[in-house]
Amino acid sequence: MAQGSTEENALVSFYTDRITEPSTNDEVYGYWLFALGLIASVVGIAMFMYSTTLPRPPAAEGGTYWMLREVGVVLAGIGVPLMLGGVAIRLPLRKLATQIVGIGVIICLAAILWFILVYPASGWPVDTGHSGVIGLYTIGLVIIGLASVFVPLLSRAETETPSERAAREETERSSAETREALDRTRTERDEAETAAKAASAELESLRQSKARFELYQDRGGGHRWRLRHRNGNIIATSGEAYASRQKCQQGMHSVIRNTLGAAVMTIEAVETEVETEPIELESQASFELYEDAAGEWRWRLVHDNGNIIADSGEGYASKSNGKRAMDSVRRHAESADYLKIDPAGFEIYRDRAGEWRWRLVHENGEILADSGEGYASRQKARQGVESVRTNAGDAAIEEQ
């Protein structure tokens, strides 16, 4: 029985109602054990004393005299260890002391059983008593006394009061809850750091674009932009000409701002929306994937105000090819640089082998010149461009 617990039962309820509020169940059980032992001892002594007033027949014949004496000795013999054990249980002793008290009580009960077997006619000396029974009973009483007095001195008795014990247990529970809260906090922090690293890696991958915006003037004098992959393919165009370079730049920056967060809308037929894939990032435009009159698949980026701010510039043979081209724009548009072509411009890019190259692109999309070789770094490629720009204009023309 745990000393800190007070489970409700009939003995505990009666003790609480008539005596006091117990701090532990051991206090209640020790009280009742002591009371039982006291009653047994008093009754046993009374029976033994009453037997002395009766005539004493021979032991072999038995009779009321011998029966009263035997029962009286048994009750008194049981009562004494019960009283001592009850006192020991009520005390705040160590578990070891309580266990030794229990052993002493068992030894006393064994001596009582031995007494019953030999008293009065089976070898019990009437005048002197049986030394074995008396010695065993005495050993049990000595063990109970030693366990109650000396074991606590040697093993340091428990000095906590019930209130102190309750406070300690509450502190331990609070400490355990605090440790659990700290563990949860560490776990949440680790998960947040992992998510932040993943988001940072994703943003970094978005910044590393393999495409570049080109800003140029068409033959009609209008200003346009196009998004060219480093392999030379044009993956998006402005779709319309702008009256000024500034307007064209504004349109291009609108594409950069709205591309990554744009929703995807697949249009199977005119004015029929089939599927929409919303993206959590905020955008003021949506991608539309549709089939044109020629049966080719195209995409366009439509602002919330209805304006088309970009389109594919060409048709694709299948819906999947059109979607891949659109996804390519979504990946590269936000972080792509742009090239001013007036009427031509140098473009520095990285080839599939990881080397840096340059090419001179005309406003009509024609590549006028390229580096012819790869460079180990972007800086080396820029130096190559500057060398061409510095020397090509004044270079002599040799005819062979």
Domains belonging to the chain, first-starting first, are 10-159 (no CATH), 211-335 (2.30.29.80), 343-392 (3.30.160.160)
Which pLDDT band holds residue 400 (cuts at 50, 70, 90)?
very low
Distance of alpha carbon 394 from alpha carbon 372, whole angstroms: 21
Answer yes or no: is pLDDT of 18 > 80.
no
Answer yes or no: is pLDDT of 333 > 80.
no
Nearest partner of 2 among 27, 20, 32, judged by Cα? 27
What pLDDT does residue 126 have? 64
Which pLDDT band holds residue 237 (cuts at 50, 70, 90)?
confident
Answer yes or no: is pLDDT of 398 > 80.
no
Nearest partner of 102 among 33, 7, 154, 10, judged by Cα? 33
What pLDDT does residue 337 have? 57
Flag whether the pTM goes above 0.75.
no
Residue 63 region by backbone torsions, left for phi larger than 0, else alpha for psi between -120 and 50, else beta: left
What pLDDT does residue 306 have? 77
Strand ranges (E), the chain:
211-217, 223-229, 234-237, 263-269, 272-277, 285-291, 297-303, 308-311, 337-341, 344-350, 356-362, 367-370
What pLDDT does residue 72 have? 87
What pLDDT does residue 362 have? 74
What pLDDT does residue 204 have? 65
Nearest partner of 40 among 76, 68, 81, 69, judged by Cα? 76
From residue 331, alpha-carbon distances to 29, 169, 232 in Å are 79, 59, 17
Distance of alpha carbon 75 from alpha carbon 39, whole angstroms: 9
Which pLDDT band holds residue 274 (cuts at 50, 70, 90)?
very low
Partner residues linked to 228 by β-bridges: 212, 234
- Tens-digit pLDDT profile for residues 148-177: 777 656 555 455 566 667 777 888 888 888
Angle at 261 between CA 250 and CA 243, to 5 degrees: 15
Q: Tokens 């510095």 correspond to what residue?
A: 390
Which pLDDT band holds residue 263 (cuts at 50, 70, 90)?
low
Distance of alpha carbon 9 from alpha carbon 97, whole angstroms: 26
CA 233 to chain centre: 49
Distance of alpha carbon 326 from alpha carbon 187, whole angstroms: 39
Distance of alpha carbon 78 from alpha carbon 44, whole angstroms: 9
Distance of alpha carbon 17 from alpha carbon 6, whole angstroms: 14
